[in-house]
Structure 1
Amino acid sequence: MAIRIDVKWKSEVFKDIEIFLTEPLILFKSQLFSLTGVPPERQKLMFKGLLKDDVDLSQLGLVNGSKILLIGSNQVLCDNTKINFIEDLPAEEKDMLLGIRAFQPKSGGLVNVGNTCYFNAVMQFLFPVTELWDKLEFFKNIPGIKQNEFINSLLQMNKTVKNDIKPMNPTKQIILLRQLYPLFNKIDQTTGQYMQQDAEECLNFIVNTMNEFSSGSIADEIFGYTVVVKSERVDGIEEFIPPQNDVTKYMFLRCTMGTPTNPVHSVKEGIKQALTETVTIRKDDTDVLYKKTSYITSLPNYLIIHLVRFEWKQASTTSMTKACKAKICKRISFDKQLDVSYICDKDITESLNNINKYIFDLNNGITPSVKVAQGKHKNGNYVLEAVITHQGRTADSGHYVSWTRVLDESTSATDENVENDCDIRADGLPKKQEPKEFWHKFDDDEISKFDYQSIDLCGGRSDYHIAVLLLYKAQYVTIEDNNQ
């Protein structure tokens, strides 16, 4: 984001200087060097105090017309010096001047073609699931129905954004989406513009269309899980109730927001609450309360969690408000790693415990006390891969953004970056280090990079990004030999 401010230096005032709030301060100092001849290392900038080089410009409250004071002397100031802005320099010169490696996104953003941020966010949310797109390729180019044309257009979109860092215009995909699902074709009668839509509904339509496209299999294989429902009387009276195995494949795991009497503070608590319900059954002329709890019986490759933040709010003549899907902005924490064993059926839990105990024993030089089949196994842990957030008060307004996890393989250990003996193996070679993790923020066609520690998407305030959809990826362990 760029704004224009004024800079006072000695007796001069430079008007309408462009400053990029998401760039480091050195970028702005380089512009001032072109204007004043004051080298960046000699510049002192004042705005509500001295600005340090590592300051986050977006947090200073700068707006168009703000004034910054520059203190510093130049050696030779040429009044007729041509102004060269750093963003106009070749990439190599810009990198050298900044002394840092410039951020280069590996994929392109998506242009907002009129209240389509919900669609853009959903697609960026799905792009990291390479397994999904690889499987869909087997069904491409099937002629005929609109569903096939729509999915083929998404496959082409996936290729385009991965091979071209320029923003892509998704008009074709949006038109096909609106033709398939009239819900997304609604127009605001006041503005005459297409209406904002719910990202969760859009994601639901897309993954179900992918299932239809592939004869009802692909999305289920990747996101689907099954449950068993177990019931018990609330009054404590023992009664044998056989478990109900539900063969339905669910693709979204719901996380409720809790109630005043049963509050929720984390995603783990919200999921547990969503899997539990109380029902009343009439027996022997008496109403009997039963607690029904669902337990997962098959683990998905990717787990989609839907934070149910929107609830229907009736129109009010008193406050002059229309009926809408209002957002619950309360803070619900979630972790980068999620252990789902606590919501699994006992057979799955026992299997996960055996796998993890086997690996623990091996890593600690102990002969494993349990037998585990050779092969690749899920260990019950899931790592956060992507997040969709919403800014605003209602589902039909505000703004959706997608955040995705990216690993920088260039930060892995090499001979050049080994810093101490702890980084070296016994054979003298560098240890393999984990690549550094970054998060990319996809705000339509604008892409930026963040450290995870610098962002908080858990909620608590409606004017900031609040998570509504989470994508977790299953973690695996490989058992090579179980006869030790």
Structure 2
Amino acid sequence: MPVFKVNVKWQKETHKQVELSTDEPPELFKAGLFSLTNVPPDRQKVMVKGTVIKDDWTPALPKLKNGVTLLMMGTAEELPQAPVEKTVFLEDMSESQLVSALDIVPGLKNLGNTCYMNSTVQVLKTVPELRNALERYQANNMNTNDGDLSGAITSSLKELFLQMDEKRQAEITPFVLVQLLRMHYPQFNEKNNEGHFVQQDANECFLEFMRILQTNLKAIDSPAGRRRKDLVEQLFGVDFEVTMKCKDEQALEEPASTFAETSLQINCFITAETKYMMTGINSKFSETISKRSPTLDRDAEYQRTSKVKRLPAYLCVQMVRFFYKEKEKVNAKILKNVVFPMRFDMYELCTSELQQKLKPMREKFMAEEERKNEEKAAMKMKDAPPKASQKTTIEDVECEPFEFPDDPGSSNSGYYELQGVITHQGRSSSSGHYVGWVRKSGDEWLKCDDDTVSPQTTEEILKLSGGGDWHVAYLLLYGPQRLPKRGDSDTGKVQACETVPMETDGAK
């Protein structure tokens, strides 16, 4: 394979011993230059001795050799904003103009079974604290020669989010992010016998993004309390208190052991009896397992009991729908209908200490619910039509804090509201199709099917619970329910912040 070690001069910097392979397209080489300079490939102009390198190496091949210097031009700064255009009516708008006017997120082009990544990106983008942290992110080490591409992947995700926020086009091609992800993780670069990229698991991709961001995004400083290691752990980390007690009658005197665990998501295990998400989650919070007893010096049954001692602001729930079939050698899928709620309460799964801490904010939610019920009753007595709510974004409403003062990124109520779903359609994890569904505002949702984005309603989201070959919820992202501060409630600005508690089982 023709591989050269070349130098790349950009502005006042010269990057030496950069690997260049002519067996790979120039786009991949430019993706590596992006990781070195933070100049996106579409802004790069690369030349070797006066010859511009475009879509193939052919014109530049005679001039390529070890030690040759390539000249690169391009800026890492944001491009200037397009000039303000005159008013255009909806019927005269292009597809990209409609995306901006109707406030629809751009779609992401599928680059060879990359729907697992596209759906993950769309759901991750619903977390505002994550978006803000990425905007502030500055890579410390963009050198990819050591094989560590986490900084480059973080920068690429930052650039992709910025492109999506600009809404200049209906479809964005995430070429750099896909290439970097495949370079960093061999499993995402796997191909079948025909040379096509194979389908990958969206939850695996979600967790790999989480681990990368853990490395690069710093935690929010806390004045007191436990210091969290990184921003991802602050926003998504669930702390558990686990107790193990031997059930064998011959070891009843063996003291119970208690230890701590932390996870970035909780699992909903599905059996024939599982009808609701809460049931599947609760099944693993109290279970019988087998392990070696130091008292009996043999394996024995233990009761493992888990309680949550710290809730994050964002709760990620994985529906464990895939299991390995030994005979068919495939990760088969459980299609069973498991109802998930639009609003979710974690209170009963928490330790008594955490429950006491959650009560003050929960009482405020209850008071707001009572106020609304009294208002509705009064309006009914007067035979007056209900007040029309103004549709606003959450930024328009001043809300109560959703986190404890000494624990940034936590939940101080235990109440959550669904804001993103990744679904899978198909019969195994190595085939089928992933789609992202994200809440726009209130009951307005968007279906992000790769490059096609379409409006949806809450009613359509509730149909994703399973039971057939339709899209089935695989990963659910819950965000903090928001409570408007008193004073805003009477201004009509409550729509986006209206988050009263509902049942944990079912979706009424």
TM-score range normalised by the length of the shorter chain? 0.5 to 0.7
Aligned 8 A contact 1:228 1:296 in 2: yes
Select 1:251's aligned residue among 264, 267, 289. Answer: 264
Is 1:300 the equivalent of 2:312? yes
> Structure 1's 175 and 286: CA in aligned 2 closer, same or farther, altered over 3 A?
closer
Give, in whole Å, the separation in 1 of the partners of 2:307 and 2:241. Answer: 5
Superposed CA deviations along residues 320-345 of structure 1, whole A, max 9, x for unmatched, are x4x11111111111000000011111
The equivalent residue for 1:383 is 417
Give, in whole Å, the separation in 2 of the partners of 1:185 and 1:341. Answer: 42
Q: CA deviation at 1:197?
A: 0.3
The equivalent residue for 1:460 is 467
> Structure 1's 330 and 360: CA in aligned 2 closer, same or farther, altered over 3 A?
closer
Q: What letter matches 1:337 in structure 2?
A: R
Percent sequence identity over aligned pairs: 30
Query: SS at the partner of 1:274?
Result: coil
The equivalent residue for 2:197 is 194
Select 2:134's aligned residue among 126, 133, 136. Answer: 136
Q: CA deviation at 1:349?
A: 1.6
Q: What letter matches 1:244 in structure 2?
A: T
Superposed CA deviations along residues 125-184 of structure 1, whole A, max 9, x for unmatched, are 101101012123333233324110111000010111121242100111110001111010
Is 1:219 the equivalent of 2:226? no
Query: SS at the partner of 2:446?
Result: strand
Select 1:404's aligned residue among 416, 438, 444. Answer: 438
Q: CA deviation at 1:389?
A: 0.2
Aligned 8 A contact 1:232 1:239 in 2: no
Gaps of 5+ in 1: 1-89, 96-100, 316-320, 366-373, 408-435
Give, in whole Å, the separation in 2 of the partners of 1:111 and 1:467. Answer: 22
Superposed CA deviations along residues 296-340 of structure 1, whole A, max 9, x for unmatched, are 11110101101110111113xxxxx4x111111111110000000
> Structure 1's 445 and 285: CA in aligned 2 closer, same or farther, altered over 3 A?
closer
Give, in whole Å, the separation in 2 of the partners of 1:120 and 1:208. Answer: 17
The equivalent residue for 2:493 is none
Is 1:311 the equivalent of 2:323? yes
Aligned 8 A contact 1:228 1:243 in 2: no
Aligned 8 A contact 1:103 1:449 in 2: no
Gaps of 5+ in 2: 1-87, 94-98, 143-147, 219-228, 372-402, 406-410, 487-508
Is 1:445 the equivalent of 2:445? no
Structure index of larger Rg: 1
The equivalent residue for 1:120 is 118
Superposition map of 1:8-157 within 5 A: 91-93=89-91, 104-144=102-142, 145-157=148-160
Instruction: Between the two structures, name the one with larger relative contact order (CA 8 Å, sep ≥ 6).
Output: 2
Larger CA deviation: 378-387 vs 140-149: 140-149
Is 1:230 the equivalent of 2:243? yes
TM-score (norm 1): 0.64
> Structure 1's 200 and 438: CA in aligned 2 closer, same or farther, altered over 3 A?
same
Aligned 8 A contact 2:239 2:262 in 1: yes
Query: SS at the partner of 1:468?
Result: strand
Is 1:167 the equivalent of 2:171? yes
The equivalent residue for 1:473 is 479
> Structure 1's 286 and 181: CA in aligned 2 closer, same or farther, altered over 3 A?
closer
Select 1:177's aligned residue among 175, 181, 192. Answer: 181
> Structure 1's 170 and 363: CA in aligned 2 closer, same or farther, altered over 3 A?
closer
Q: What letter matches 1:474 in structure 2?
A: P
Aligned 8 A contact 1:252 1:303 in 2: yes
Aligned 8 A contact 1:118 1:202 in 2: yes
> Structure 1's 182 and 301: CA in aligned 2 closer, same or farther, altered over 3 A?
same
The equivalent residue for 1:336 is 342
Superposed CA deviations along residues 177-201 of structure 1, whole A, max 9, x for unmatched, are 0111101010001x21011100000
Q: CA deviation at 1:118?
A: 0.5
Give, in whole Å, the separation in 2 of the partners of 1:91 and 1:361. Answer: 45
Q: What letter matches 1:344 in structure 2?
A: C
The equivalent residue for 1:203 is 206
TM-score (norm 2): 0.61
Superposition map of 1:272-287 within 5 A: 272-280=282-290, 281-282=292-293, 283-284=295-296
Aligned 8 A contact 1:112 1:444 in 2: yes
Give, in whole Å, the separation in 1 of the partners of 2:135 and 2:356. Answer: 37
Give, in whole Å, the separation in 2 of the partners of 1:465 and 1:267. Answer: 17
Q: CA deviation at 1:221?
A: 1.2
Give, in whole Å, the separation in 2 of the partners of 1:362 and 1:306. Answer: 31
Aligned 8 A contact 2:104 2:453 in 1: no
